[in-house]
Amino acid sequence: MVMCYHGNSSKGAAQYLLQQGYDAVYSVDGGFDAWHRHFPAEVEYAFER
């Protein structure tokens, strides 16, 4: 899986990996930005920060 901030650079990187013979390559559409908007993470810490 390839991911960048907006999803533009990772598409090119994923295409390159496919050309190099990798067969299970994924690029996250929209990158970290879209992932964070759609899947916000709440982190629970086992200790006080």
Three-state SS string over the chain comes to CECCCCCHHHHHHHHHHHHCCCCCCCECCCHHHHHHHHCCCCCCCCCCC
Which of 4, 13, 17, 28 does the annotation list as catalytic? 4
| Catalytic annotation present for 25 | no
Residues classed as catalytic: 4
